[in-house]
Amino acid sequence: MKNPGQKTLAIVCGGGPAPGINSVISSVTIEAIKSGWDVYGIYDGFSNLAKGEKVFTPLTIDKVSRIYSEGGSILRISRFNPTKSEEYLKNVADTLIEMGVSHLVTIGGDDTAYAASCVADYAKNKRELSINFVHIPKTIDNDLPLPGSIPTFGFESARALGAQIVSNLMVDAKTTGRWFIVVAMGRVAGHLALGIGKSAGATMELIPEEFPSRKKIPLSLVVDIITGSIIKRLASGRNYGVAVTAEGLIEKIRIEDLEAADCLEFDDHGHTRYAEINFSDVLKREVIANLGTLGIKMTINNKELGYEVRCAPPNAFDIEYTRNLGYAAMEFLRKGGTNAMITIQNDTIVPLAFADIMDPVTKKTQIRLVNTKSIQYRIAREYMIRLEKKDFEPGIEFEKLAVAANLSPDEFRKRFQYVTEY
């Protein structure tokens, strides 16, 4: 029989995998048990709770003490959205209450954070019981609204492994005389694609934040930008390269240009299931066809990059970072805190209240996009091989570009100058 004053903590993992989840589970569990709390690890995110099912495991220090360096999640994970119906919210809240849960730690992205907030509100407003909760920001996308340059955990590990993969492709491209088109995960933000490409010294990167207008762009624009990079490399005597693009570009492209692929799917939160669209294959086919109209033959391979990096073991940065976050989350809960996302800023634990970071329209946390005005982006752009406005100034270099494209200077200008206007 549980003591009336006994505190019980539940841990729920939502969204997609990211390196460091197990490290968070480990640190939260250890700190909670040291405080005399019981700890339950909930399997499969909110999915079982929404059905009223108690699918969990009691966590102990022995169970979690050595999992901090492992990839994946010992509790598994799901994208199930309990906010889709009041019945789901009721089942989640009631099941947690029946289990005696007094505190909740969620590990996930913006959707998981929003779901936890709704569950806590339901328990308070409908059951008059408090479930204090804290959210630990997790995503390889790095798109949660953390201050400054603070990353979401998992991003640095994913970036490091992704950069190694792209670096290997760069060597292959040079060795075999070909191009690779890589599409990196990241949802609507380009942090991962830009970070991987910049770290690996890829030939060029292309991210959705370069097209801030709400007006959709034609697929042909993306194709021409990549084609322009290939031509610029050919003009310098190099027939190889790697283009790293962000999957979020899909959101920017006209729907009619993508419908032909007949592969648009959406998850429980209404987001496009990017992984179900072989975007790199689409780009490969379109770029090859585009080059063909210019009489240029080029071997191009494509690669989707994401699953390989999101369940990788966390690197040293993310292990330390996640153990700090787990400790900080428990410190926040022990002091009676609730309804916030935990961060560490300037060596200080700083909880971010959801009311301050919530989008007033969507009622979800705001999305952090790449700042294309930042020095980090400007430096990245300086190292890219892409057609720029200065390339179209009259001179020998401009003429080399036209020759590489099998066009006259006037034809080349008419055909490609527009890509520099974005």
Query: For 303-330, what is each residue's pLDDT tens digit?
Result: 999 999 999 999 999 999 999 999 999 9
139 CB contacts (<8 Å, ≥6 apart)?
A: 15, 16, 18, 108, 109, 152, 154, 155
Radius of gyration of the chain (CA): 24
Strand partners for 246: 184
Phi/psi region, residue 76 (left: phi>0; alpha: psi -120 to 50; beta: rest), is left
Percent above pLDDT 70 for the chain: 95
The Cα 357–Cα 363 span in angstroms is 9
Confidence at residue 145, expressed as pLDDT on a 0 to 100 scale? 86
Query: For 357-409, what is each residue's pLDDT tens digit?
Result: 877 777 677 889 999 999 999 999 999 999 999 999 999 999 999 999 999 99
233-255 mean pLDDT? 96
| pLDDT exceeds cutoff 70 at 294 | yes
Query: For 37-73, what is each residue's pLDDT tens digit?
Result: 999 999 999 999 999 999 999 999 999 999 999 999 9
The Cα 301–Cα 154 span in angstroms is 28
181-185 mean pLDDT? 97
The single residue listed with the structure tokens 């080029």 is: 298
Q: Could you tell me if 51 and 91 are in contact, meaning their C-beta atoms sit under 8 angstroms apart? A: yes
Q: Could you tell me if 222 and 213 are in contact, meaning their C-beta atoms sit under 8 angstroms apart? A: no
Query: For 143-166, what is each residue's pLDDT tens digit?
Result: 988 887 899 999 999 999 999 999
Is 141 in the active site? yes
Mean residue pLDDT across the chain? 93
The single residue listed with the structure tokens 């979690």 is: 64
At 1, the pLDDT band (50, 70, 90 cuts) reads: very low
Which of 38, 44, 111, 141 is labelled catalytic? 141
At 5, the pLDDT band (50, 70, 90 cuts) reads: low
Domains and CATH numbers, the chain: 8-152+314-357 (3.40.50.450), 160-309+387-421 (3.40.50.460)
* Residue burial 384-406, b: 16+ Cβ < 10 Å; e: rest: bbbbeeebbeeeeebebbbebbe
Q: Could you tell me if 221 and 175 are in contact, meaning their C-beta atoms sit under 8 angstroms apart? A: no
Q: What are phi and psi of 237, to 5 degrees?
A: 90, 15
Strand partners for 180: 242, 301
405-421 mean pLDDT? 97
